[in-house]
Structure 1
Amino acid sequence: MASKSLERLRRVGDRQTLRLTHYGRKTGRPYEVTIWYMVDDDRLYLASANAARNWVRNVKARPAISLRVGDEVFNGNVRVITDPQEREKVNGLVERKYWFVMPILRLGRFLASMGIVRDSSIAFEVILADS
């Protein structure tokens, strides 16, 4: 990550939500959504318990995004996290920052491990452009 972006990101890393601007996978039209995020050292992560959400499907098709956290705006691209160890790391970040939803998330993981429901969670790393 570029040093200017990293410095700005660290100033806002403890906020609860950010505004994600993503682009329609068919139309290219911009959309905004408020979502949770995690910052770990020099990395920024996004995650969703539901990979069928429109923003998730859009960023998978068109990875260029813009993020607004407080007064800071960041541009970059997302990368789907497929490595199981990296996914566990992101899950741990979610658990630490958003501890209040952990009973629900753990129940979902348990039900998925039992084959009762399908695990549809997904995580992304955001590769920020220097600005």
Structure 2
Amino acid sequence: ILPYLSPRLQNYFISMFGHKSATRWLGDLCGAKDEAIFAAQLQEKRNMYCTAGFLHAVGKMVTCAGDIVDVAVAGETAVFTFDEIEVRCKDNGETRWKPGISASKRFIFHVRDVEAYPQAMTKAMKSLLRELP
């Protein structure tokens, strides 16, 4: 995704991944790209499992084709779901869950199509991040 982003957004991720000084954040965003960190980050594998939670929190879902849609319209095309569960936790920390509706509104992340997930999430994030300046 990184090569397709705007220069400022590339610099944001370079600064974040490169653990650059927080006091120079504006210079990092507007300055020249650190090619060494950029090249190193292109070689890294990134998982996007927290991305699904952020999308779910705002009522969005990703389809197997990589489109970002409202949760209400995703239906069977959703590449992931957050399924409602009942959770019980004992004093000793033992936790058990089962599918079901609970008053506490707890969910479990479920990748519905493991093979489609990487490409779908990459396409979705690329389309989302390319909109940023």
What TM-score bracket applies, with the shorter chain setting the length? under 0.3
Provide the TM-score with structure 2 as the length reference: 0.23
Q: Per chain length, whose mean CA-contact separation is higher, i.e. which structure has more relative contact order (CA < 8 Å, sep 6+)? A: 1
* Greater per-residue helix proportion: 2
Structure number with bigger Rg: 2
* Greater per-residue strand proportion: 1
Provide the TM-score with structure 1 as the length reference: 0.23
